Amino acid sequence: MKQDHSRPKAVSPAEADSTFERLPVGPLDLSWLRHVQVNRSAVERRAATLFARRAVKKDAQAGWLLRAVSLIDLTTLAGDDTVGRVRRLCAKARSPIRPDLLEALGVSELGLTTGAVCVYHRYVETAVEALAGSGIPVAAVSTGFPAGLSPFKQRLEEIEASVADGAEEIDIVITREHALTQNWQALYDEVKAFREACGDAHLKAILATGELGTLRNVYRASLVCMMAGSDFIKTSTGKEKENATLPVSLTMVRAIREFHERTGHFVGYKPAGGISTAKDSLAYLVLMKEELGDRWLRPDLFRFGASSLLGDIERQLEHHVTGRYSASFRHPMA
């Protein structure tokens, strides 16, 4: 295959707005699920060759990395989070790359920000206040994150509370038991109820793919969440033993592609957990470009769930500008 050195332009907040109708809640199509088959060995072979098929170097690589910055859900989900930490994270989201590097790259006027800031419900109000006027949405993890096993009523109330506090995006976790026992009706009903509780806030359904057993379960759970109106499907909470991987991502992206072909509706994708290097981000960008096309390389349809990725991207951009690698502590997260 001919090497592609195209340089996707980083996306400004004004360009990141959704330009399509929000995904509606549809019917549960069990016949569609029954015909799903996934060839694991073929998926793994395809995933292993994706990045080797495209050489992204020099200026093109810098362009891809700037795009990656605009796709990050900058995240802090630690037990020792504080108001101060969240405020610093929001400041980093507003200005993710040092101004001198942006000037050297010729993109100072872009107004580059991250795609969102993701926090626990406890810090939604703090993040909303810190991001006021920036256009950066706040995403809240909800529904008993990360296990998703708290009482159903409590999970719904948690969504409603985060929306009331100003969260524009809600990252929910599904009940893994429903997928493991093939109880697709229960999974559909659950996600549909979560979607209704979100109101105008966008819903991202976390599948916790490392706990679903098979790629076939991953594919079918992806379809069910989309049928129930999930605006995004997401790999992981970041707390499982196995988080985002390219084979799992390829499986979920193929489900998105098939759903779009059948219904005409757009659904976003968010890999999360373990994506910590600039090289990782390039691999996922290549996956999206190869499988779904350029339209899925914008913040309204693709996000990285990450906490340390941004620091490594900034290091790589400094290397591109100066020819020297800097220490990671020179690129603080917040």
Write the pLDDT tens digit of every residue in 60-81.
999 999 999 999 999 999 999 9
**Beta-bridge mates of residue 171:** 141, 204
The residue from 92, 192, 270, 289 that is catalytic is 270
Residue 164 has pLDDT above 60, yes or no: yes
DSSP letters for 40-100 = HHHHHHHHHHHGGG----HHHHHHHHHHHHHTEEEE---TT--HHHHHHHHHHHHS-S-HH
Helix (H) or strand (E) holding 118: strand 116-120
The residue from 234, 280, 289, 300 that is catalytic is 234
The CATH H-level (homologous superfamily) assignment of domain 22-330 is Aldolase class I (3.20.20.70)
**pLDDT per position as a tens digit, 26-43:** 999 999 999 999 999 999
Helix (H) or strand (E) holding 290: helix 278-291
Residue 7 has pLDDT above 60, yes or no: no
312 is catalytic: no
270 is catalytic: yes
Own/partner pairs, 177-182, CB within 8 angstroms, 24+ separation: 179/207, 179/212, 179/217, 179/220, 179/221, 180/212, 180/213, 180/217
Helix (H) or strand (E) holding 291: helix 278-291
Please indicate whether residue 57 or residue 88 has the higher confidence score (pLDDT).
88
Question: Under DSSP, is residue 222 helix (H, G, I), strand (E, B) or coil?
Answer: helix
**pLDDT per position as a tens digit, 317-326:** 999 999 887 7
Residue 4 has pLDDT above 90, yes or no: no
2 is catalytic: no
CA atoms within 13 A on the CB side of 27: 4
Q: Would you state the pLDDT for residue 326?
A: 78
For 85, 136, 282, the CA distances from 171, given in Å and listed in that order, are: 20, 16, 24
Domain limits, the chain: 22-330
Q: How many Å apart are CA 153 and CA 148, to the nearest integer?
A: 12
Residue 85 has pLDDT above 90, yes or no: yes
Whether residue 146 has a cis bond before it, omega within 30° of 0: yes
Angle, vertex CA 86, rays to CA 16 and CA 301, nearest 5 = 20
Q: Which amino acid is at 111?
A: G
pTM for the predicted model, two decimal places: 0.91
Q: Would you state the pLDDT for residue 6?
A: 47
The residue from 73, 92, 171, 192 that is catalytic is 171
Question: In the chain, what percentage of residues exceed pLDDT 70?
Answer: 93
